[in-house]
Chain A
Amino acid sequence: MSLEAAGFWGLALVLLASSLAVVLSKNLFHSVLYLALALVATAGVFLLLHAEFLAAVQILLYAGGVITIVVFAIVVTERLVGERLNQTNRGVAAGGLVSLAVLIAIGLFVMRAPLPHAAPPVAGDLTEAIGRNLLTRYVLPFELLAVVFLAALLGALFFARKEE
């Protein structure tokens, strides 16, 4: 087995185990920590695919940013306000059904898609290519995303403002 394959299977194992732990852990805070591990492992998969930029962004935004905010929410509600957050509920059957449907849908797509057997050759500096394409070819979706974020920001402000 090549080093790359070993790395992939190792990461896959960590990724699967930590993702399962996110759902199965009874302690909400532990779930978040497992989620952080899963997100870092995802960045590792990106690294194996030579997508360094994506890996770094994944860590910066998800493992660094999103996790921080989730933790913030948990602490404010569970420790400081003292409200117990429920980790489980009774809808196991419905949840299982939905998960199964999603699994089948994704599985079908993956089976149909032609998968390359080797990584495509990388030409030049990927980071530069990403930047160039974001501001030329894909500038419209890029700017639209910015508008969506702005709307989300305004929405948050609306909910957070003081009642008059």
Chain B
Amino acid sequence: MIRHVITAFVLLNAIVLIVTYLTYVERKFAARMQSRIGPYRVGRPHGWLQPIADALKLLIKEDIVPALADRPVYNLAPIVFLIPSFLIFATVPFAPGLGLADLNIGLLFFLAVSSLEIVGLFMGGWGSNNKYALLSAMRAVNQIISYEVPFVLTALIPVLLAGSLKLSLIVEAQRGLWFVAYPVIGQLAFVMFLLATIASENRVPFDILEAESELVAGFRVEYSGMKFALIQLAEYTHMFGVSCLGALLFLGGWLGPGLPGPVWFLLKALFIFLLVTWVRWSFVRIRVDQILGLSWKVLLPATLALLMATGFWVALRSGHVA
């Protein structure tokens, strides 16, 4: 019991630290892509104290609650938004035996808990009593209903190949060959997973719910100070969590030569995060109808077909089909 509490405490703090620095990595990465330098002034070398300075700044900013906001809902929203994004790490195995709880239903737990995030997001959008926020929350619901299905279906492909929902077993099944390297199936599934990931993280080109040019900042437009910081933290934590999931499902988690397991795992998660960031800073936002059309008309049938094909392949290989 005590051991679990300590592990959880260490894990939580490690994640907060990693996620804080992910924002720094993203800013530097984006700056490089645009021939800028990015944060440079705070801390030597290369402004490495910038995330800490940002966090401190947000801590001491004034907390403003709109007069007509639905107060309890408005105040609770950042917390409800934050909890699931941290909870998803409960089942993530960073290395064999290094994780909080390697559940039998690890993947399902991950998907279930991350689907709760929409509740917090919507509380924020509704509670602010702001038209932009509400429109953004509406768009979020639209998008999340649409992309939840292909996201779950692509995540099921590694499950079929590994024959288990347990994340550590899925990684162990990739000892010979990472799932992303499986001919045709692997690459297609990985691309679809990335697409669904970007949509579930609400990033460009799927960022209609924050769309700076039309909705200001979306559902968080009324939030300031620490509440805003919590929402940002939750978003980046979720991104990091989904990147970890991608590393576990397709890139063989902690497997790799030379370096220790957790290092490999974090490098792979970082790779997926940077892939998504690369897409974010390269493309433009697409329209709502294009986003929904892509999900229902292209991604959903494609993932279903791929799932069927994977099923047949697994059955053929195991000799159940003559």
Chain A residues near B (Cβ < 8 Å): 27, 29-30, 33, 36, 40, 52-53, 56-57, 59-60, 63-65, 67-69, 71-72, 75-76, 79-80, 125-127
Contacts and interface: CB of A to CB of B under 8 A. Distances in A.
A110 B247 CA distance: 48
B267 interface: no
Given A36-B119, A60-B111, A69-B145, A80 B105 contact: no
A57 B104 CA distance: 14
Given A52-B105, A56-B108, A33 B141 contact: no
Given A33-B73, A52-B104, A59 B119 contact: no
Contacts of B123: 33
Interface string B131-164: 0001001100100110010000000000000000
Given A65-B115, A80-B138, A75 B126 contact: yes
B105 A79 contact: no
Contact of A59 (B73, B113, B137): B113
Contacts, number: 73
Nearest to B126: A29
14 contacts: A29-B73, A33-B73, A36-B119, A53-B105, A56-B105, A56-B111, A59-B113, A60-B111, A63-B116, A64-B148, A65-B148, A68-B119, A80-B138, A127-B104
A76 B126 CA distance: 12
B109 interface: yes
Cβ-closest 7 pairs across A and B? A64-B115, A60-B112, A59-B112, A56-B108, A56-B112, A52-B105, A72-B141
A60 B114 CA distance: 9
A153 to B, nearest CB: 12
B105 A75 contact: no
State the main secondary structure of chain B at its contact with A. Answer: helix
Contacts of A126: 104
Contact of B108 (A27, A36, A53): A53
B103 A71 contact: no
Contacts of B115: 59-60, 63-65
B134 A33 contact: no
Contacts of A56: 105, 108-109, 111-112
A40 to B, nearest CB: 8
B134 to A, nearest CB: 6
A125 B104 contact: yes
A64 B112 contact: yes
Contacts of A75: 126, 134, 137-138, 141
A30 B73 contact: yes
B122 interface: yes
Looking at A29, A67, A68, A69, which has the most chain B CB atoms within 10 Å of its CB? A68
B118 interface: yes
B165 interface: yes
A68 B109 contact: no
A68 B143 CA distance: 11
Contacts of A67: 119
B137 A64 contact: no
A56 B137 CA distance: 25
B291 to A, nearest CB: 16
A56 to B, nearest CB: 4
Contacts of A30: 73
A60 to B, nearest CB: 4
Contacts of A63: 115-116, 119
A35 to B, nearest CB: 10
A121 B111 CA distance: 28
A95 B123 CA distance: 30
Contacts of A72: 138, 141, 145
A89 to B, nearest CB: 24
B105 A59 contact: no
A128 B118 CA distance: 29
A25 B252 CA distance: 49
Given A75-B138, A79-B134, A57 B145 contact: no
